[in-house]
Amino acid sequence: MPDMTVRPKDRMTVEEYLVWCEAQRGRYELVDGVVYAQAAERAAHAKLKLAVAIALTKAVRAGGLPCHVLPDGMAVRVDARTVFEPDALVYCGPELPPDALLVDHPVVVVEVISPSTGRYDNTHKFIGYFALPSIRHYLAVDPDERVVVHHERREDGVIVSLILKDGSVTFDPPGLTLALSEIYAS
């Protein structure tokens, strides 16, 4: 993983990682059993993550959907030795228990691209997220330019990508619409 500090730990399973990370400060991801610290974020990155989570929450409420939005801090298990922490996600169904650390069946995941991890987010995370059958949408959001790349897995399994600079993104399922003007409001 580019520009991330490797934590001095032996290779871990997801279960070992979850126990370990609860006692740590900061944010981490587990990639092929190795723990990586998340790099510090620029203000533009943090502001855009918040805007995305708020806009997704409004969209869920407006649609009256049985879905939930969570900001970064929640983990998504990709395989037995990999856990990603998206910048925002949507899952549908019952609320998670208060002590949950993992979201088992996200439908939408969002990554705000950073200079240090952009390539990784657009390759390895793209592949990892779409290895999960529940994920139908992966949104890559640029904090420096008004550009969103929406990757969608269609019913036939084909993944299509759409580059947007204006307008809105539709996530169907679960039936949400996200206006770019809401996330890029100045």
Calculate mean pLDDT across residues 170-176. Answer: 95
Read off φ and ψ for residue 52, nearest 5 degrees.
Answer: -65, -45
User: What is the pLDDT confidence band of residue 36, given thresholds at 50, 70 and 90?
Assistant: confident
Q: Tokens at residue 102, please? A: 């993992």
pLDDT exceeds 70 at position 177: yes
pLDDT tens figures, 23-33: 888 888 899 99
pLDDT tens figures, 111-145: 999 876 667 777 789 999 999 999 999 999 999 99
pTM of the full structure:
0.89
| Domains and their CATH numbers in the chain | 42-183 (3.90.1570.10)
Residue at token pair 């290895």: 131
Residue 115 has a pLDDT of 74
Handedness of CA 140, 106, 101, 70 (dihedral sign): positive
